[in-house]
Amino acid sequence: MSRKKSTDTAKPLIIVESPAKTKTLKNFLGDAYRVEATMGHVRDLPENRFGVDLEDGFKPEYVTLRERREVLKKLKEAAQQASEVYLASDPDREGEAIAWHLKEALKLQNARRIEFNEITRQAVEQALQNPRDIDMNRVNAQQARRILDRIVGYKLSPLLWKKASRNTLSAGRVQSVAVRLVVDREREIESFVPEEYWTITARLTPDSPDNAFDATLRLRDGEKLELHNEQEANAVLQELEGAQYVVGQIKRTERKRNPSPPFITSTLQQEAARKLGFSAKRTMQVAQQLYEGVELGEQGSVGLITYMRTDSTRVANEAQAQAREYIKGEFGDPYLPSKPPQYRSRRGAQDAHEAIRPTSVTRTPESVKQYLSADQFQLYRLIWQRFIASQMAPAVLDVVTVDIQANRYTFRATGSSVKFDGFMRIYVEGKDTSELSDEERPPLPPMIEGQILTLLALVPEQHFTEPPPRYTEATLVKALEEKGIGRPSTYATILSTIVERGYVELRDKRFHPTPLGIAVTDYLVKHFPDILDVQFTAGVEQQLDEIEEGNREWTEVLQAFYGPFAQKLAESEQSEERVQVQVQETDYECPLCGSKMVVRTGRYGRFLGCSRYPECKGVLKLTKNGEPAPPDRETDEKCEQCGWPMVIRWGKYGDYLACTNEKCKARRPLNAPDITCPSCKQGKIVEKRSRKGRAFYGCNRYPACQFVVWDKPTGGICPKCHSLLVEKRSGKEVVGIVCSNKDCDYREDIPAEGQALAS
């Protein structure tokens, strides 16, 4: 790649998707290239009409997105001045489609496509040396998916409006199947009949109570024993009265525990949900930031991880070599396997990308922590640890199983100890259940065969079999992946969409179907069984893969889908059957008309709505325990913006002060610190919430003053530049105080005892 200086008019142009990528590329390409961003998609199907000609081979009508018109104008001027144009959108179907749309919109004749799995100097220079034509198979696969989704959404949604008398409903080809999984699981739970069973545990010790351990009753006369009720358990207890507990067979085994593969999209989302409490959407947003680049002080903007939408566990040889060098230097030869591990990707995985890994293993989480937000640091640390662990030697555990005889009964105890920690030294994968495996149980005290043990307690315990658990974000993503529903790039959108549309809700981090979700699912299953069939949906995904591979025509896939779908649609429109939503009545009265209130679900969760809706639109917020939110409470406070009285109002994130003037949206937290806005010198800094619920801090004179910071102000002023001082946090922990001015490097160390720095 030539790095010689050139005039502005002769510079090659690289077009990426986001400004963050632009900054990262400029950091190491310098002035040799001009880099511009599309800000995402530039064209799509129209919003206000169908936009697909069903009679002309499903020909799509693409329109320029209104918000991208100025961007396209700027890009067109830049392309006219450039010596060459490189289209460098993300390395997947969606990115290929963006590159094609850009080429079509700008009428670029000789633009070339480049792609890179990581935004590093080596990867980008290699991509620039190997440009290619746009892959129309990828583009057609994306077009087929987009048109399929448009057909389902545009044709089914009006039908649901008609059948349910609600024009807010919508159907999605993949999202509807995800809702069905949640609905089906709820019905499994409702129909589950628990069965009683009992266990008997002996608390034993070879010497002192300090060495006590538990052994569970397993066998009677050498046969597996099951206790179904209290009578059977009591009969065993009677036989065990006065019994001597003698150590029988002791079995010692050495087990290897292999590390988990490096992350793919689905496993990253699952593990971030388990260990960090992140939603899939939050995980992907933060991962996108890490991929596109983060400012690392004097290093400038650096891409920290490889592309985060992938289902391949493949790792580049260079990355493995770097990891092996790091492991050997940091942990020593015993932690280095004899050869680099190879992991098998799941069947049907696309191998175009690598697994998700750090772009440089030497860039440890702690070395970049000061430059990252709390979310960025936690997710980067998770990715870094998982990758390093995946390249380390297996752990070795000693597992001991002891059978203990008491009359005709056999009790069994299992314990384990780590002989060699291997990869476990830095990372162990999380779990979705609390059950312990044999390898996770604490070690047993030393015993020898024939040794008589002392019985400390004999504990009978009643149990009942449990229904399958409701899906969490982690387990629903896992189910979608296993069943072939959607692709890595769609999981986060699927989960957020089904909640926003009110078909399911998250309570205690588990998905519950709403009455609306159940009613719509039942209707669609009856009238459109293929759309809601898991195997059918997975089959469509396979057909899209075949289009991408060049083994199938995209219009053929659309035609095979649309024919049967159109017939069922016509039959359903003729039917008089309606979508019957079962509502939960309450004893609460509507504040507007006095009628009974019912529990409803909207995009922001459950609320109480008038049973006479739509004639009456009375609503009440619901607290977490399902009770109506308390009414507004009067105060002596006056609004600083309009002078009207302020009231204490209940909110999802706690009580706050709100102006009673409907035309004034002023609000502020109770007992807010008295911090004068450093920008306008008139207003006060107050806590606010973004649409996604994230706290931020801004001037209460907004929109007259638009000062805002994301970190919590301490009330202090920077001694160097006189801006606000704010807390720097990692999770819930305050790790320092820094200046809110990004161009100022002032920082205070946290107190030795680690107490909070500001209330």
> What is the per-residue pLDDT across 358-405, written as a single tens digit (0 to 9) for each?
999 999 999 999 999 999 999 999 999 999 999 999 999 999 999 999
**Which residue type sits at 24?**
T
Specify the pLDDT at position 460.
Answer: 96
Q: What is the CATH number of domain 276-389?
A: 1.10.290.10
* Helices 136-164 and 554-574: angle between axes, nearest 10 degrees: 0
pTM for the model stands at 0.77
Question: What is the CB neighbour count within 10 angstroms for residue 712?
Answer: 21
Domain residue ranges in the chain: 8-134, 148-191+470-574, 196-258+395-464, 276-389, 584-621, 673-759
**Whether residue 614 has a cis bond before it, omega within 30° of 0:** yes
pLDDT for residue 756 is more than 70: no
**pLDDT over 90, % of the chain:** 63
- Alpha-helical (H) ranges within 363-407 are 365-368, 374-390
pLDDT-based confidence at residue 653 (cuts at 50, 70, 90): low
- What's the rounded Cα separation, in Å, for the pair 722 and 677? 12
Q: Which residues contact 71 (CB under 8 A, 6 or more apart)?
A: 37, 38, 39, 42
Which comes out higher in pLDDT, residue 142 or 755? 142
Joined together, the tokens standing for residue 610 give 């008038």
> Which of 141, 147, 90 lies closest to 115, judged by CA?
90
> What is the per-residue pLDDT across 717-741, written as a single tens digit (0 to 9) for each?
888 887 888 888 766 677 788 888 8
> What is the per-residue pLDDT across 485-507, written as a single tens digit (0 to 9) for each?
988 888 999 999 999 888 998 88
> What is the per-residue pLDDT across 219-261, written as a single tens digit (0 to 9) for each?
999 999 999 999 999 999 999 999 999 999 999 999 999 999 9
- What's the rounded Cα separation, in Å, for the pair 528 and 152? 11
> What is the per-residue pLDDT across 520-535, written as a single tens digit (0 to 9) for each?
999 999 999 999 999 9
pLDDT-based confidence at residue 163 (cuts at 50, 70, 90): confident
What kind of fold does domain 148-191+470-574 have according to CATH?
Topoisomerase I; domain 2 (1.10.460)
Question: What is the CB neighbour count within 10 angstroms for residue 63?
Answer: 13
pLDDT-based confidence at residue 267 (cuts at 50, 70, 90): very high
Specify the pLDDT at position 5.
Answer: 43
pLDDT for residue 625 is more than 80: no
pLDDT for residue 578 is more than 80: yes
Specify the pLDDT at position 176.
Answer: 93
How high does pLDDT run on average in the chain? 89
Which residue shows structure tokens 């008589």?
452
> What is the per-residue pLDDT across 13-64, written as a single tens digit (0 to 9) for each?
999 998 889 999 999 899 999 999 998 899 999 988 999 999 999 999 999 9
Task: Give one DSSP letter per residue of 487-555, joined into a string.
Answer: -TTTHHHHHHHHHHTTSEEEETTEEEE-HHHHHHHHHHHHH-TTTT-HHHHHHHHHHHHHHHTTSS-HH
Q: Reduced to 3 DSSP states, what percent helix, strand and coil does the chain have, rounded to the nearest 5? A: 35, 25, 40
Q: What is the CATH number of domain 196-258+395-464?
A: 2.70.20.10
pLDDT for residue 7 is more than 50: no
Active-site annotation, residues: 307
pLDDT for residue 304 is more than 50: yes
Q: Taking the mean position of all CA atoms in its chain, how far away is CA 631?
A: 35
Burial 10-32 (b: 16+ CB within 10 A, else e): ebbbbbbbbebbbbbbbbbbeee
- What's the rounded Cα separation, in Å, for the pair 660 and 645? 6
> What is the per-residue pLDDT across 317-327, written as a single tens digit (0 to 9) for each?
999 999 999 99
Indicate the DSSP class of residue 630.
Answer: P
- What's the rounded Cα separation, in Å, for the pair 300 and 289? 14
pLDDT-based confidence at residue 2 (cuts at 50, 70, 90): very low
Check if the beta carbon of residue 22 is closer than 8 Å to that of residue 36: yes
Would you state the CATH architecture of domain 8-134?
3-Layer(aba) Sandwich (3.40)
Residue 640, SS3 per DSSP: coil
